[in-house]
Amino acid sequence: MVNPRRGRPEIDPGTVPEPNLKPHPSQPGVWTAAGRPRDWNGNYRRITRSSPPETDSRGRAKPDRTGERARRAYLDAAGEWIDSSVTTASKLTRRSTLAEVWAAYKDDLRKRGRLEETINNYEPIMRDTVIPKYGRREIGLTNTAVIEDMLDYVGRERGGSGPRILKENILSGMFRFCIRVGALPPGNPVREALLPKPTNFSRRRGGAAFIDSTTVEHLLIGVYTSTAPCPTLEVSEWKTARRRRVPTVAEYCETQDLADWVLLVAATGWRLGQSLAVCESDIDFDTGTLTPRGAVRNRGGSAQVWIDYTADGAEDLSQDKFIAKPVQLPQTVLDMMAARIRRFKKVRLALPPRPADADWPEDLLFFDLDDGGTRNLKSMGRRWRRVASALDLPEGVSPHSLRKHLGTEGISAGLDVTKVADQLGNTSRVLRKSYVRRHQPHEDVTALIGQKIGPALNKIARHRTS
Protein backbone atom coordinates (compact mmCIF):
# COMPACT_ATOMS: atom_id res chain seq x y z
CA MET A 1 0.00 0.00 0.00
CA VAL A 2 1.37 3.40 -1.01
CA ASN A 3 1.40 5.95 1.79
CA PRO A 4 -0.38 9.17 0.87
CA ARG A 5 1.89 12.16 0.43
CA ARG A 6 2.02 14.27 3.56
CA GLY A 7 2.65 17.97 3.99
CA ARG A 8 1.49 20.94 1.99
CA PRO A 9 -0.02 20.27 -1.43
CA GLU A 10 2.08 21.43 -4.35
CA ILE A 11 1.04 24.48 -6.34
CA ASP A 12 1.57 25.10 -10.03
CA PRO A 13 4.81 26.77 -11.08
CA GLY A 14 4.42 30.52 -11.36
CA THR A 15 1.61 30.62 -8.77
CA VAL A 16 1.43 33.16 -5.93
CA PRO A 17 -0.74 31.86 -3.07
CA GLU A 18 -2.68 34.19 -0.81
CA PRO A 19 -0.50 35.27 2.14
CA ASN A 20 -1.01 34.59 5.82
CA LEU A 21 -1.91 37.97 7.36
CA LYS A 22 -1.16 38.76 11.01
CA PRO A 23 -1.02 41.99 13.03
CA HIS A 24 2.50 42.98 13.98
CA PRO A 25 3.11 42.00 17.66
CA SER A 26 4.83 45.26 18.67
CA GLN A 27 3.77 47.90 16.09
CA PRO A 28 0.10 48.88 16.18
CA GLY A 29 -1.48 49.58 12.77
CA VAL A 30 1.09 47.38 11.00
CA TRP A 31 0.44 43.93 9.53
CA THR A 32 2.73 41.20 8.17
CA ALA A 33 1.99 39.08 5.10
CA ALA A 34 3.90 35.83 4.52
CA GLY A 35 3.64 33.06 1.92
CA ARG A 36 5.58 30.54 -0.17
CA PRO A 37 5.19 31.24 -3.91
CA ARG A 38 6.68 28.90 -6.51
CA ASP A 39 8.76 30.14 -9.44
CA TRP A 40 8.82 28.80 -13.00
CA ASN A 41 11.66 26.43 -12.17
CA GLY A 42 9.57 24.74 -9.47
CA ASN A 43 11.43 26.33 -6.52
CA TYR A 44 9.68 27.63 -3.41
CA ARG A 45 10.68 30.69 -1.45
CA ARG A 46 9.24 32.18 1.71
CA ILE A 47 8.51 35.88 1.30
CA THR A 48 7.44 38.15 4.16
CA ARG A 49 6.42 41.80 3.90
CA SER A 50 5.11 44.33 6.41
CA SER A 51 2.68 47.17 5.82
CA PRO A 52 4.61 49.98 4.06
CA PRO A 53 4.27 53.40 5.71
CA GLU A 54 1.62 55.72 4.35
CA THR A 55 0.61 59.26 5.40
CA ASP A 56 -2.49 61.39 4.97
CA SER A 57 -2.69 64.91 3.55
CA ARG A 58 -1.37 66.40 6.81
CA GLY A 59 1.62 64.10 6.93
CA ARG A 60 0.25 61.91 9.72
CA ALA A 61 0.89 58.16 9.61
CA LYS A 62 -2.11 56.12 8.45
CA PRO A 63 -2.63 52.72 10.07
CA ASP A 64 -3.14 49.61 7.92
CA ARG A 65 -6.47 48.63 9.45
CA THR A 66 -7.17 45.46 7.36
CA GLY A 67 -3.68 44.41 6.28
CA GLU A 68 -4.38 45.19 2.60
CA ARG A 69 -1.18 47.26 2.25
CA ALA A 70 0.90 44.36 3.56
CA ARG A 71 -0.88 41.96 1.20
CA ARG A 72 -0.18 44.17 -1.84
CA ALA A 73 3.47 44.48 -0.87
CA TYR A 74 3.75 40.70 -0.58
CA LEU A 75 2.10 40.11 -3.97
CA ASP A 76 4.40 42.64 -5.66
CA ALA A 77 7.53 41.09 -4.18
CA ALA A 78 6.39 37.53 -5.03
CA GLY A 79 5.51 38.49 -8.60
CA GLU A 80 8.86 40.20 -9.11
CA TRP A 81 10.70 37.11 -7.84
CA ILE A 82 8.68 34.79 -10.10
CA ASP A 83 9.21 37.01 -13.14
CA SER A 84 12.96 36.91 -12.61
CA SER A 85 12.88 33.12 -13.09
CA VAL A 86 11.07 33.24 -16.43
CA THR A 87 12.91 31.54 -19.30
CA THR A 88 12.30 31.84 -23.02
CA ALA A 89 10.07 28.78 -23.07
CA SER A 90 7.93 29.90 -20.13
CA LYS A 91 7.20 33.55 -20.90
CA LEU A 92 3.62 32.54 -21.58
CA THR A 93 1.44 31.50 -18.64
CA ARG A 94 -2.17 30.52 -18.25
CA ARG A 95 -2.81 34.19 -17.43
CA SER A 96 -1.40 35.40 -20.76
CA THR A 97 -3.98 36.96 -23.07
CA LEU A 98 -4.90 35.66 -26.48
CA ALA A 99 -3.25 38.70 -28.05
CA GLU A 100 0.04 37.88 -26.29
CA VAL A 101 -0.21 34.22 -27.26
CA TRP A 102 -0.89 35.10 -30.90
CA ALA A 103 2.20 37.34 -31.03
CA ALA A 104 4.37 34.60 -29.49
CA TYR A 105 2.89 31.96 -31.79
CA LYS A 106 3.76 33.99 -34.89
CA ASP A 107 7.35 34.28 -33.69
CA ASP A 108 7.42 30.50 -33.16
CA LEU A 109 6.12 29.90 -36.70
CA ARG A 110 8.88 32.07 -38.12
CA LYS A 111 11.51 30.35 -35.99
CA ARG A 112 10.40 26.96 -37.33
CA GLY A 113 10.70 28.17 -40.94
CA ARG A 114 7.07 28.65 -41.88
CA LEU A 115 6.42 30.88 -44.87
CA GLU A 116 5.61 34.52 -44.21
CA GLU A 117 2.79 34.05 -46.71
CA THR A 118 1.12 31.56 -44.36
CA ILE A 119 1.28 34.01 -41.46
CA ASN A 120 -0.06 36.83 -43.64
CA ASN A 121 -3.03 34.64 -44.58
CA TYR A 122 -3.87 34.11 -40.90
CA GLU A 123 -3.32 37.73 -39.85
CA PRO A 124 -6.58 39.36 -41.12
CA ILE A 125 -8.84 36.97 -39.18
CA MET A 126 -6.93 37.48 -35.93
CA ARG A 127 -6.18 41.19 -36.28
CA ASP A 128 -9.56 42.39 -37.56
CA THR A 129 -12.02 39.95 -35.96
CA VAL A 130 -10.72 37.82 -33.09
CA ILE A 131 -8.26 40.09 -31.24
CA PRO A 132 -10.59 43.15 -30.96
CA LYS A 133 -13.23 41.08 -29.12
CA TYR A 134 -11.30 38.23 -27.45
CA GLY A 135 -7.75 39.58 -27.32
CA ARG A 136 -7.82 40.41 -23.59
CA ARG A 137 -9.16 37.02 -22.49
CA GLU A 138 -6.69 34.87 -20.58
CA ILE A 139 -5.62 31.72 -22.38
CA GLY A 140 -6.27 29.64 -19.24
CA LEU A 141 -9.93 30.76 -19.24
CA THR A 142 -10.45 30.00 -22.94
CA ASN A 143 -12.24 26.65 -22.88
CA THR A 144 -14.18 24.80 -25.57
CA ALA A 145 -17.36 26.83 -24.95
CA VAL A 146 -15.48 30.08 -25.49
CA ILE A 147 -13.85 28.73 -28.64
CA GLU A 148 -17.23 27.73 -30.10
CA ASP A 149 -18.55 31.22 -29.33
CA MET A 150 -15.47 32.58 -31.10
CA LEU A 151 -16.14 30.40 -34.15
CA ASP A 152 -19.77 31.51 -34.28
CA TYR A 153 -18.69 35.16 -34.11
CA VAL A 154 -16.18 34.74 -36.92
CA GLY A 155 -18.81 32.94 -38.99
CA ARG A 156 -21.21 35.87 -38.60
CA GLU A 157 -18.59 38.54 -39.23
CA ARG A 158 -16.55 36.95 -42.03
CA GLY A 159 -18.59 34.01 -43.29
CA GLY A 160 -17.19 31.56 -45.81
CA SER A 161 -14.44 29.29 -44.57
CA GLY A 162 -13.39 31.70 -41.80
CA PRO A 163 -14.49 29.46 -38.87
CA ARG A 164 -12.79 26.39 -40.34
CA ILE A 165 -9.54 28.27 -40.98
CA LEU A 166 -9.65 29.73 -37.47
CA LYS A 167 -10.15 26.35 -35.82
CA GLU A 168 -8.01 24.02 -37.91
CA ASN A 169 -5.18 26.32 -38.99
CA ILE A 170 -4.86 28.94 -36.25
CA LEU A 171 -6.35 28.02 -32.87
CA SER A 172 -5.41 24.36 -32.99
CA GLY A 173 -1.74 25.14 -33.59
CA MET A 174 -1.76 28.06 -31.16
CA PHE A 175 -3.07 25.94 -28.28
CA ARG A 176 -0.62 23.13 -29.10
CA PHE A 177 2.11 25.76 -28.85
CA CYS A 178 0.86 26.81 -25.40
CA ILE A 179 0.85 23.19 -24.24
CA ARG A 180 4.36 22.70 -25.61
CA VAL A 181 5.82 25.65 -23.70
CA GLY A 182 4.01 24.77 -20.47
CA ALA A 183 1.46 27.59 -20.44
CA LEU A 184 -1.42 25.10 -20.50
CA PRO A 185 -1.82 21.52 -19.23
CA PRO A 186 -2.15 18.67 -21.75
CA GLY A 187 -5.49 18.47 -23.56
CA ASN A 188 -6.29 20.77 -26.46
CA PRO A 189 -9.75 22.38 -25.97
CA VAL A 190 -9.94 23.22 -29.69
CA ARG A 191 -10.22 19.54 -30.62
CA GLU A 192 -13.71 19.19 -29.12
CA ALA A 193 -15.08 22.47 -30.52
CA LEU A 194 -17.78 22.12 -33.19
CA LEU A 195 -17.80 24.27 -36.30
CA PRO A 196 -20.91 26.38 -36.87
CA LYS A 197 -23.20 25.53 -39.75
CA PRO A 198 -22.29 27.69 -42.78
CA THR A 199 -24.83 30.44 -43.43
CA ASN A 200 -23.51 32.51 -46.33
CA PHE A 201 -21.13 29.97 -47.80
CA SER A 202 -22.22 29.23 -51.36
CA ARG A 203 -18.99 27.78 -52.79
CA ARG A 204 -19.09 24.12 -53.70
CA ARG A 205 -17.97 21.89 -50.86
CA GLY A 206 -15.45 19.10 -51.37
CA GLY A 207 -12.96 20.89 -53.62
CA ALA A 208 -12.67 20.62 -57.39
CA ALA A 209 -15.09 18.27 -59.12
CA PHE A 210 -13.95 15.02 -60.71
CA ILE A 211 -14.26 14.82 -64.51
CA ASP A 212 -14.01 12.00 -67.03
CA SER A 213 -11.86 11.75 -70.14
CA THR A 214 -14.74 12.79 -72.41
CA THR A 215 -15.06 16.11 -70.59
CA VAL A 216 -11.31 16.68 -70.77
CA GLU A 217 -11.31 16.03 -74.52
CA HIS A 218 -14.23 18.45 -74.94
CA LEU A 219 -12.30 21.09 -72.98
CA LEU A 220 -9.03 20.67 -74.90
CA ILE A 221 -10.68 20.78 -78.31
CA GLY A 222 -12.87 23.69 -77.23
CA VAL A 223 -10.10 26.05 -76.10
CA TYR A 224 -8.48 25.74 -79.56
CA THR A 225 -11.44 25.42 -81.94
CA SER A 226 -14.82 26.16 -80.24
CA THR A 227 -17.00 28.77 -81.93
CA ALA A 228 -19.39 28.98 -78.96
CA PRO A 229 -19.83 32.54 -77.63
CA CYS A 230 -17.77 33.36 -74.55
CA PRO A 231 -19.51 36.29 -72.82
CA THR A 232 -18.21 37.93 -69.69
CA LEU A 233 -19.56 36.82 -66.32
CA GLU A 234 -19.65 40.37 -64.97
CA VAL A 235 -23.12 41.67 -64.09
CA SER A 236 -22.31 45.32 -63.35
CA GLU A 237 -24.67 47.70 -65.13
CA TRP A 238 -21.94 49.97 -66.45
CA LYS A 239 -20.21 46.98 -68.03
CA THR A 240 -23.30 45.43 -69.59
CA ALA A 241 -24.32 48.83 -70.94
CA ARG A 242 -21.25 48.92 -73.18
CA ARG A 243 -22.04 47.06 -76.37
CA ARG A 244 -19.16 44.90 -77.46
CA ARG A 245 -18.83 41.96 -79.80
CA VAL A 246 -18.83 38.71 -77.80
CA PRO A 247 -15.77 36.61 -78.77
CA THR A 248 -15.88 32.88 -79.33
CA VAL A 249 -14.16 30.54 -76.90
CA ALA A 250 -11.23 30.00 -79.27
CA GLU A 251 -10.84 33.75 -79.87
CA TYR A 252 -10.97 34.53 -76.16
CA CYS A 253 -8.41 31.81 -75.31
CA GLU A 254 -6.08 33.10 -78.01
CA THR A 255 -6.40 36.69 -76.79
CA GLN A 256 -5.83 35.76 -73.15
CA ASP A 257 -3.22 33.06 -73.94
CA LEU A 258 -5.10 30.23 -72.22
CA ALA A 259 -5.18 27.30 -74.64
CA ASP A 260 -1.53 26.21 -74.35
CA TRP A 261 -1.67 26.48 -70.57
CA VAL A 262 -4.80 24.29 -70.38
CA LEU A 263 -3.05 21.68 -72.52
CA LEU A 264 0.01 21.69 -70.24
CA VAL A 265 -2.09 21.27 -67.08
CA ALA A 266 -4.05 18.40 -68.63
CA ALA A 267 -0.81 16.65 -69.67
CA THR A 268 1.07 17.11 -66.39
CA GLY A 269 -1.61 17.38 -63.68
CA TRP A 270 0.34 20.22 -62.08
CA ARG A 271 -1.02 22.88 -59.78
CA LEU A 272 -1.88 26.36 -61.02
CA GLY A 273 1.17 28.09 -59.54
CA GLN A 274 3.56 25.40 -60.73
CA SER A 275 2.24 25.28 -64.30
CA LEU A 276 2.49 29.07 -64.69
CA ALA A 277 6.12 29.02 -63.54
CA VAL A 278 7.48 26.76 -66.31
CA CYS A 279 10.55 28.18 -68.08
CA GLU A 280 12.17 27.37 -71.39
CA SER A 281 15.28 26.20 -69.56
CA ASP A 282 13.22 23.59 -67.67
CA ILE A 283 12.57 21.59 -70.87
CA ASP A 284 14.99 19.11 -72.39
CA PHE A 285 13.67 18.63 -75.92
CA ASP A 286 16.15 15.83 -76.64
CA THR A 287 14.71 13.57 -73.94
CA GLY A 288 11.25 15.12 -73.78
CA THR A 289 11.46 15.75 -70.01
CA LEU A 290 10.34 18.76 -68.05
CA THR A 291 12.11 19.38 -64.72
CA PRO A 292 10.23 21.97 -62.63
CA ARG A 293 12.13 24.38 -60.44
CA GLY A 294 9.79 27.27 -59.66
CA ALA A 295 6.28 28.27 -58.62
CA VAL A 296 4.19 31.42 -58.80
CA ARG A 297 2.96 32.38 -55.36
CA ASN A 298 1.01 35.20 -53.70
CA ARG A 299 2.93 37.72 -51.63
CA GLY A 300 1.47 40.57 -49.61
CA GLY A 301 -2.12 39.76 -50.55
CA SER A 302 -2.07 40.31 -54.32
CA ALA A 303 1.50 40.50 -55.60
CA GLN A 304 2.60 37.50 -57.67
CA VAL A 305 6.22 36.40 -57.39
CA TRP A 306 8.23 33.58 -58.94
CA ILE A 307 10.01 31.42 -56.36
CA ASP A 308 12.85 29.03 -57.09
CA TYR A 309 12.06 26.16 -54.71
CA THR A 310 15.22 24.25 -55.64
CA ALA A 311 17.42 26.93 -54.08
CA ASP A 312 18.97 26.61 -50.63
CA GLY A 313 16.50 27.31 -47.83
CA ALA A 314 13.39 26.74 -49.98
CA GLU A 315 12.87 23.06 -49.21
CA ASP A 316 10.03 23.80 -46.76
CA LEU A 317 7.95 25.67 -49.31
CA SER A 318 4.32 24.72 -48.62
CA GLN A 319 5.31 21.51 -46.86
CA ASP A 320 7.05 19.98 -49.91
CA LYS A 321 4.09 20.46 -52.24
CA PHE A 322 6.48 21.45 -55.00
CA ILE A 323 9.23 18.91 -55.56
CA ALA A 324 11.66 18.98 -58.47
CA LYS A 325 10.62 15.69 -60.08
CA PRO A 326 11.09 15.48 -63.88
CA VAL A 327 8.09 14.39 -65.92
CA GLN A 328 7.87 13.06 -69.47
CA LEU A 329 5.82 15.20 -71.84
CA PRO A 330 3.76 13.79 -74.75
CA GLN A 331 5.10 14.68 -78.17
CA THR A 332 2.12 16.94 -78.90
CA VAL A 333 2.88 19.00 -75.81
CA LEU A 334 6.57 19.19 -76.73
CA ASP A 335 5.63 20.46 -80.19
CA MET A 336 3.31 23.03 -78.62
CA MET A 337 6.10 24.23 -76.32
CA ALA A 338 8.60 24.51 -79.17
CA ALA A 339 6.14 26.49 -81.32
CA ARG A 340 5.34 28.68 -78.34
CA ILE A 341 8.99 29.50 -77.76
CA ARG A 342 9.44 30.53 -81.40
CA ARG A 343 6.24 32.58 -81.43
CA PHE A 344 6.77 34.47 -78.18
CA LYS A 345 10.32 35.52 -78.90
CA LYS A 346 8.76 38.11 -81.21
CA VAL A 347 6.14 39.06 -78.61
CA ARG A 348 8.80 39.82 -76.01
CA LEU A 349 10.43 42.33 -78.35
CA ALA A 350 7.28 44.47 -78.17
CA LEU A 351 7.11 44.42 -74.34
CA PRO A 352 8.56 47.16 -72.10
CA PRO A 353 12.21 46.76 -71.04
CA ARG A 354 12.75 44.25 -68.29
CA PRO A 355 12.99 46.01 -64.86
CA ALA A 356 16.37 45.86 -63.16
CA ASP A 357 14.78 44.43 -59.99
CA ALA A 358 12.61 41.84 -61.77
CA ASP A 359 12.14 38.72 -59.63
CA TRP A 360 11.10 36.38 -62.43
CA PRO A 361 13.17 34.45 -65.00
CA GLU A 362 13.60 35.90 -68.47
CA ASP A 363 12.46 32.69 -70.17
CA LEU A 364 9.02 32.26 -68.61
CA LEU A 365 6.74 30.43 -71.03
CA PHE A 366 3.46 31.70 -69.52
CA PHE A 367 3.98 35.38 -68.76
CA ASP A 368 1.90 38.52 -68.40
CA LEU A 369 1.34 40.01 -71.84
CA ASP A 370 1.70 43.56 -70.48
CA ASP A 371 5.08 43.47 -68.75
CA GLY A 372 6.50 39.98 -69.30
CA GLY A 373 6.26 39.14 -65.59
CA THR A 374 4.41 36.39 -63.76
CA ARG A 375 0.72 35.90 -64.39
CA ASN A 376 -1.86 36.70 -61.72
CA LEU A 377 -3.35 33.60 -60.10
CA LYS A 378 -6.73 35.18 -59.37
CA SER A 379 -7.06 36.56 -62.89
CA MET A 380 -6.36 33.12 -64.33
CA GLY A 381 -9.13 31.74 -62.14
CA ARG A 382 -11.61 34.32 -63.47
CA ARG A 383 -10.65 33.55 -67.07
CA TRP A 384 -11.04 29.83 -66.44
CA ARG A 385 -14.55 30.30 -65.03
CA ARG A 386 -15.55 32.30 -68.11
CA VAL A 387 -14.33 29.58 -70.47
CA ALA A 388 -15.86 26.80 -68.34
CA SER A 389 -19.24 28.54 -68.43
CA ALA A 390 -19.07 29.02 -72.20
CA LEU A 391 -18.17 25.36 -72.78
CA ASP A 392 -20.94 24.26 -70.38
CA LEU A 393 -18.58 22.25 -68.19
CA PRO A 394 -20.06 20.56 -65.07
CA GLU A 395 -20.38 22.62 -61.91
CA GLY A 396 -17.25 22.74 -59.77
CA VAL A 397 -14.79 21.98 -62.58
CA SER A 398 -11.57 23.93 -62.03
CA PRO A 399 -7.94 23.56 -63.20
CA HIS A 400 -7.47 21.25 -60.22
CA SER A 401 -10.04 18.90 -61.79
CA LEU A 402 -7.49 18.11 -64.50
CA ARG A 403 -5.11 17.07 -61.74
CA LYS A 404 -7.75 14.78 -60.24
CA HIS A 405 -8.48 13.36 -63.68
CA LEU A 406 -4.87 12.31 -64.16
CA GLY A 407 -4.71 10.68 -60.73
CA THR A 408 -7.98 8.79 -61.20
CA GLU A 409 -7.17 7.57 -64.71
CA GLY A 410 -3.66 6.51 -63.72
CA ILE A 411 -4.88 4.33 -60.86
CA SER A 412 -7.82 2.97 -62.88
CA ALA A 413 -5.42 1.93 -65.65
CA GLY A 414 -3.45 -0.17 -63.18
CA LEU A 415 -0.33 2.02 -63.09
CA ASP A 416 1.92 1.77 -60.06
CA VAL A 417 0.69 4.24 -57.45
CA THR A 418 4.23 5.53 -56.90
CA LYS A 419 4.53 6.52 -60.55
CA VAL A 420 1.25 8.44 -60.49
CA ALA A 421 2.22 10.12 -57.21
CA ASP A 422 5.56 11.18 -58.71
CA GLN A 423 3.79 12.73 -61.68
CA LEU A 424 1.55 14.82 -59.40
CA GLY A 425 4.24 15.55 -56.79
CA ASN A 426 2.25 13.92 -53.98
CA THR A 427 2.66 11.04 -51.58
CA SER A 428 0.77 7.81 -52.23
CA ARG A 429 -1.45 8.41 -49.21
CA VAL A 430 -2.55 11.87 -50.38
CA LEU A 431 -3.03 10.56 -53.91
CA ARG A 432 -5.47 7.84 -52.82
CA LYS A 433 -7.27 10.17 -50.43
CA SER A 434 -7.80 13.24 -52.63
CA TYR A 435 -7.04 12.52 -56.27
CA VAL A 436 -8.77 9.22 -56.97
CA ARG A 437 -12.50 9.15 -57.54
CA ARG A 438 -14.16 6.84 -55.05
CA HIS A 439 -17.46 4.95 -54.79
CA GLN A 440 -17.68 4.01 -58.48
CA PRO A 441 -18.83 0.71 -60.04
CA HIS A 442 -15.97 -1.61 -60.99
CA GLU A 443 -16.44 -4.25 -63.70
CA ASP A 444 -13.53 -6.39 -62.50
CA VAL A 445 -15.09 -6.66 -59.04
CA THR A 446 -18.39 -7.71 -60.61
CA ALA A 447 -16.58 -10.30 -62.73
CA LEU A 448 -14.84 -11.65 -59.62
CA ILE A 449 -18.15 -11.99 -57.80
CA GLY A 450 -19.64 -13.82 -60.76
CA GLN A 451 -16.65 -16.16 -60.88
CA LYS A 452 -16.78 -17.05 -57.20
CA ILE A 453 -20.51 -17.61 -56.85
CA GLY A 454 -21.25 -18.42 -60.50
CA PRO A 455 -22.37 -22.06 -59.88
CA ALA A 456 -24.83 -20.95 -57.24
CA LEU A 457 -26.20 -18.22 -59.52
CA ASN A 458 -26.64 -20.71 -62.39
CA LYS A 459 -28.46 -23.15 -60.11
CA ILE A 460 -30.80 -20.40 -58.93
CA ALA A 461 -31.46 -19.36 -62.55
CA ARG A 462 -32.40 -22.97 -63.50
CA HIS A 463 -34.64 -23.21 -60.47
CA ARG A 464 -36.48 -20.00 -61.38
CA THR A 465 -37.11 -21.16 -64.96
CA SER A 466 -38.25 -24.68 -64.07
C-alpha torsion 447→449→452→454, nearest 10: -80
Q: From edge to edge, which strands make up the β-sheet containing 289-290?
A: 283-284, 289-290, 327-328
Per-residue pLDDT at 431: 65
Mean pLDDT of 140-167: 89
Query: Residue 299: which of 120, 81, 127 has the closest Cα?
Result: 120
Q: How confident is the model at residue 442 (pLDDT cuts 50, 70, 90)?
A: low
In angstroms, rounded to a whole number, what is the distance separating the alpha carbons of residues 134 and 124? 15
Q: What mean pLDDT comes out for the span 182-207?
A: 75
Among 405, 423, 439, residue whose Cα is nearest residue 213: 405
* Percent of the chain whose pLDDT exceeds 70: 85
Answer yes or no: are the C-beta atoms of 184 and 143 closer than 8 Å.
Answer: no
| pLDDT at residue 312 is higher than 90 | no
Pairing type for strands 289-290 and 31-35 reads unpaired
384 close to 252: Cβ distance less than 8 angstroms: no
Quote the pLDDT of residue 134. 94
User: What gap in Å lies between CA 77 and CA 338, rounded to an integer?
Assistant: 77
Contacts of 127 (CB under 8 A, 6+ apart): none
| Rounded distance between C-alpha atoms, residue 20 and residue 259, angstroms | 81
Q: What rounded mean pLDDT belongs to the chain?
A: 82
Max mean pLDDT range (38-47, 126-135, 352-361, 435-444): 126-135
Least confident of 13-22, 320-329, 417-426, 449-458: 320-329
**If pLDDT is split at 50, 70 and 90, which confidence band does 319 have?**
very low
CA–CA separation, 239 and 109 (whole Å): 44
Which residues, at least 6 apart from 295, have a Cβ–Cβ distance to it below 8 Å?
A: 271, 273, 274, 277, 306, 307, 309, 317, 322
> Among candidates 170, 169, 180, which has minimal Cα distance to 102?
170
Distance between CA atoms of residues 40 and 86, nearest Å: 6
Question: Is the separation of the CB atoms in 376 and 304 below 8 Å?
Answer: yes
Cβ-based neighbours of 231, under 8 Å, separated by 6 or more: 246, 386, 390
Question: Which has the higher per-residue pLDDT, 216 or 116?
Answer: 216
Going by pLDDT thresholds of 50, 70 and 90, the confidence category of residue 348 is confident
- Of the spans 86-95, 172-181, 196-205, 448-457, which averages the highest pLDDT? 172-181
pLDDT value of position 458: 82
Digit-coded pLDDT (tens) for 226-253: 999 999 886 554 455 456 788 999 999 9
pLDDT category at 150 given cuts 50, 70, 90 is: very high
Distance CA 305, CA 117 (A): 11
For 62-110, what is each residue's pLDDT tens digit?
A: 898 889 999 999 999 988 888 777 654 557 888 889 999 999 999 888 8
Q: How far apart are CA 294 and CA 323, in angstroms?
A: 9
Q: Which of 151, 110, 160 is nearest to 130 (CA)?
A: 151
Of 182-186, 304-308, 339-343, 443-447, give the lowest mean pLDDT range: 443-447
Which candidate, 115, 53, 427, places its Cα nearest to that of 299? 115
